[in-house]
Amino acid sequence: MTKNVNLKSVAKGGLLDRRFFLKKGFVFSVAAMASDKLLAEAKKYRQPWMEKPGDSFSNYGQPSVFEKEAIRWTMANKAAAGNGVSWTPLQNLEGTLTPNGLHFERHHNGVPQIDPKIHQLFIHGEVKKSLVFDMDSLLRYPMVSRQCFIECGGNSNAGWRDEPIQTAVGYFHGMVSCSEWTGIPLKILLNEANITPRGKWVIVEGGDASIMNVSIPLEKIMDDCFLAIYQNGERIRPENGYPLRLIAPGWEGVVNVKWLRRLHLSNRPAMSRNETSKYTELLPSGKARQFTFVMEAKSLITNPSYGHQLDKTGFYQISGLAWSGRGKIVKVEVSVDGGKNWGETELQKPVLSKSFTRFRIPWHWTGEKALLKSRAIDETGCVQPEREKLIAERGKNGYFHYNAIVSWKISNKGEISHVYA
């Protein structure tokens, strides 16, 4: 067994060692053979797709037909037509960016098909100059690009249940995705509108059938909010807000209003449905949490995770995602013995603020029972809490903002289940 550099070898659950590949190096080859024999084998290896020309060009590419499992799982909600969610299959993805066709969706009343030639954006209220824009005029403004995650405030809410849900990580935590968004900083347009001293909140309204609205403090709007027009280089997909959406980096999904049509400057919040009857939660003290915009530090191991099967002992790469609405992730630790020992993982560079951060660490599985956990720490010092601690603070009335540590139990047969531990 290797001598560990920065991690402890643990009795149960095997060994975690970030430097293992560097120190030892090893081969996961199907077979090992001499070079001349291997060359002969390679020459013999011919498949049908090498015998004739392949398919022709396509106007818009699609994933391989062998990747049918990497799809969004959809879940309709009977509250209204077109209300529901589709989830990002986090268990099938790597790196930090979510492909556009797999970005999670949350609609209150379906996806409108908005004609960009007639779409308009109105800015009015506590401004000296009311403004109306069409898409052509917006496209003339200077733009910025920023990679950031969007997470629904209700993501991971199955964690509040008494029994741990047994489902793929994406179907539990996949109401979060990460894209490079490109658009116009809102402060440019609002400075043009010239806000009056009474303008302290911006009431943001969408142009879908739900005409959803939310209130955002002016400070946040002027700090880093922008109007996105492009998503990962192409125009935003209809389901993610085409032709225009608001991006409020690090803040809960609901304030990232899609199909944006109106910005109303006001001296107070609108007290709309999504900031009173929803997204307001009673604490054990009897007080309520309201306007809890920021998504707290969170992480989860996506591989291995529920639904995967470890069928051999030996090396696996533990890989997962971490993010925080407060800024950059500075550290992600992983434990394979249920939290007794923790090892520091390698973070994929560059680590960006309010964005997905990919962490990885090699793990030697000995074939014994193991209990995998990950714990994120952000640059403000926020540490992802254990579930017990979160529930002690927030009580059992929680529904939103669940960010507790996730635990995967590995049986001695290599089966993976979700546990509270």
DSSP character at residue 197: T
Given the rule CB under 5 A, which of 57-65, 106-114, 164-172, 398-406 is the region that contacts Mo ion?
Answer: 106-114
Residue whose CB is less far from ligand MTE, 4 or 83:
83
Cα 107 to chain center, whole Å? 17
**Angle at alpha carbon of residue 111, lines to 107 and 114, rounded to 5°:** 135
256 binds, among Mo ion, ligand MTE, none (CB under 5 to 8 A by kind): ligand MTE
Query: Could you say whether residue 253 binds Mo ion (CB under 5 A)?
Result: yes
DSSP character at residue 36: H
**Nearest approach, Cβ of 147 to ligand MTE (angstroms)?**
15
Residue whose CB is less far from Mo ion, 157 or 319:
157
* CB-nearest residue to ligand MTE: 206
**Angle at alpha carbon of residue 400, lines to 339 and 350, rounded to 5°:** 60
DSSP 29-40: -S----HHHHHH
Strands 120-125 and 260-266: parallel
**Nearest approach, Cβ of 82 to ligand MTE (angstroms)?**
9
Query: Could you say whether residue 338 binds Mo ion (CB under 5 A)?
Result: no
105 binds, among Mo ion, ligand MTE, none (CB under 5 to 8 A by kind): ligand MTE
Contact assessment for residue 52 and residue 410, using Cβ atoms and an 8 Å cutoff: no
The residues, ordered by sequence, that sit 6+ positions from 24 with a Cβ below 8 Å of its Cβ are: 2
**Nearest approach, Cβ of 124 to ligand MTE (angstroms)?**
18
Query: Could you say whether residue 254 binds Mo ion (CB under 5 A)?
Result: yes
Give the chain's end-to-end CA distance (angstroms, integer): 28
DSSP character at residue 418: E
**Nearest approach, Cβ of 189 to Mo ion (angstroms)?**
25
Query: Could you say whether residue 325 binds Mo ion (CB under 5 A)?
Result: no
135 to 174: interface string for Mo ion, x by CB under 5 A: -----------------x----------------------
363 binds, among Mo ion, ligand MTE, none (CB under 5 to 8 A by kind): none
Tokens of 213: 């609205």
**Nearest approach, Cβ of 186 to Mo ion (angstroms)?**
20
Given the rule CB under 5 A, which of 188-196, 253-261, 319-327, 406-414 is the region that contacts Mo ion?
Answer: 253-261
Residue whose CB is less far from ligand MTE, 109 or 313:
109
**Nearest approach, Cβ of 234 to ligand MTE (angstroms)?**
14
Burial of 45 (0-12, 13-18, 19+ CB in 10 A): exposed
Task: Single out the residue of 15, 13, 20 nearest to residue 372, CA to CA.
Answer: 13
**Nearest approach, Cβ of 275 to ligand MTE (angstroms)?**
12
257 binds, among Mo ion, ligand MTE, none (CB under 5 to 8 A by kind): ligand MTE
Tokens of 316: 């696996």
Radius of gyration of the chain from its Cα atoms, rounded to whole angstroms? 24
Task: Single out the residue of 7, 56, 44, 16 nearest to residue 363, CA to CA.
Answer: 16
Q: Binding Mo ion by CB under 5 A: which of 103, 106, 326, 354?
A: 106
**Nearest approach, Cβ of 133 to ligand MTE (angstroms)?**
17
Residue whose CB is less far from ligand MTE, 215 or 240:
240
Tokens of 170: 């994406």
Binding site for ligand MTE (CB under 6 A): 103-108, 150, 152, 206, 208, 210, 212, 240-241, 253-254, 256-259
DSSP 369-390: -EEEEEEEEETT--BPPPHHHH
Place of tokens 């898409």: 135
Residue whose CB is less far from ligand MTE, 259 or 306:
259
Residue whose CB is less far from ligand MTE, 145 or 309:
145
Given the rule CB under 5 A, which of 184-192, 251-259, 291-299, 363-371 is the region that contacts Mo ion?
Answer: 251-259
Distance in angstroms (rounded) separating the CA atoms of residues 83 and 387: 29
30 to 69: interface string for Mo ion, x by CB under 5 A: ----------------------------------------
- Cα atoms in the 13 Å half-sphere on the side-chain side of 402: 24
Could you tell me the CA-to-CA distances from 301 to 323, 360, 372, 405 in Å, in that order?
A: 12, 9, 8, 10
Query: Could you say whether residue 85 binds Mo ion (CB under 5 A)?
Result: no
Given the rule CB under 5 A, which of 32-40, 41-49, 254-262, 341-349 is the region that contacts Mo ion?
Answer: 254-262
Binding residues for Mo ion, per CB under 5 A?
A: 106, 152, 253-254
